[in-house]
């Protein structure tokens, strides 16, 4: 399993300033909550899918396609008895927009850029590092689980046979090695941070410096106009 969802591709989306990407993520999330017009939501979702394809992030989206489908179907079914089909579709579109926006975001920003962007937006760098660390650790945790499962299967543990209860029981032997590996990685991370003097100074420098350019201002202006339109149309 890959340890990062970032797609190495030289497109205008990847070249945007990290602050633009973070603000854009928040604005799209806000629009998905505000908007109640189903056509407007569908248009946003269509544009996001086009951006996913353009940025080369389609493989990240396809990796969670069943999650998107299940959430969409369950949202519609859940709201049918109390509300209406239109309301269920509206909720499904909102959730799909949030999921696809998140996939687009992590596909177009490096972990280092995310931390730097949060810091440049005024968030203390210790907090920014802690938030960005989750982006790095979550894929790493899944990678450790997959590696441990593969190792156990080479020793004769068959994880694919049996009913759901038997399959769950077969995953129990994975807990101890996975937890041990996670504790080891956490200890190594703490030693690495201590050796680098993390937290010694209130301010720190960044390996890469970013500056807002014309494409960033254009993108933010378009998003703000969409937000204003969403407040008008709803």
So what's the pLDDT on residue 76?
85
* Local confidence band at 202 (pLDDT 50, 70, 90 cut-offs): low
Taking only the tens place, the pLDDT of each residue in 170-200 is 777 777 888 888 888 878 878 887 787 776 6
Q: Look at residues 171, 146, 141, 142 and name the one whose alpha carbon lies nearest to residue 158.
A: 171
* Local confidence band at 4 (pLDDT 50, 70, 90 cut-offs): low
So what's the pLDDT on residue 51?
93
pLDDT mean over 83-90: 84
Name the least confident of 23-32, 87-96, 192-201.
192-201
So what's the pLDDT on residue 57?
87
- The token pair at 9 is 């591709």
Q: Look at residues 182, 188, 191, 197 and name the one whose alpha carbon lies nearest to residue 125.
A: 197
So what's the pLDDT on residue 101?
93
Examine the pLDDT at 218 and tell me if it is beyond 90.
yes
Examine the pLDDT at 225 and tell me if it is beyond 80.
yes
So what's the pLDDT on residue 217?
93
Q: Look at residues 1, 223, 190, 4 and name the one whose alpha carbon lies nearest to residue 113.
A: 4
Q: Which residues 6+ apart lie within 8 Å of 199 measured at CB?
A: 126, 193
Query: How does the average pLDDT of the chain come out, rounded?
Result: 83
So what's the pLDDT on residue 199?
67
So what's the pLDDT on residue 100?
93
So what's the pLDDT on residue 188?
83
Backbone angles phi, psi at 44, to 5 degrees: -65, -45
pLDDT mean over 117-139: 79
pLDDT mean over 51-59: 90
* Local confidence band at 53 (pLDDT 50, 70, 90 cut-offs): very high
Residue with tokens 């499904």: 92
Examine the pLDDT at 1 and tell me if it is beyond 50.
no
So what's the pLDDT on residue 135?
73
CA distance 220 to 55: 18
Which of residues 217 and 204 earns the better pLDDT score?
Answer: 217
């Amino acid at each position: 399993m890959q340890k990062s969802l970032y797609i190495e591709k030289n497109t205008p989306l990847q070249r945007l300033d990290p602050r633009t990407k973070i603000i854009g993520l928040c604005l799209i999330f806000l629009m998905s909550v505000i908007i109640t017009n189903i056509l407007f939501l569908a248009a946003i979702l269509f544009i996001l899918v086009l951006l996913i394809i353009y940025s080369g992030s389609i493989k990240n989206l396809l990796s969670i396609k069943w999650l998107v489908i299940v959430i969409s179907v369950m949202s519609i079914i859940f709201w049918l008895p109390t509300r209406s089909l239109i309301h269920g579709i509206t909720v499904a579109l909102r959730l799909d927009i949030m999921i696809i926006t998140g996939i687009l975001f992590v596909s177009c920003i490096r972990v280092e850029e995310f931390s730097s962007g949060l810091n440049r937006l005024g968030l203390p760098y210790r907090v920014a590092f802690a938030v960005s660390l989750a982006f790095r650790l979550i894929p790493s945790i899944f990678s450790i689980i997959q590696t441990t499962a593969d190792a156990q299967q080479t020793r004769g543990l068959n994880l694919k046979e049996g009913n759901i209860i038997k399959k769950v029981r077969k995953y129990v032997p994975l807990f101890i090695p996975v937890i041990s590996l996670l504790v080891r990685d956490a200890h190594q991370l703490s030693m690495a941070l201590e050796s680098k003097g993390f937290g010694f100074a209130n301010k720190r420098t960044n390996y890469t410096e970013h500056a807002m350019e014309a494409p960033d201002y254009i993108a933010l202006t378009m998003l703000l106009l969409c937000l204003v339109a969403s407040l008008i149309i709803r």
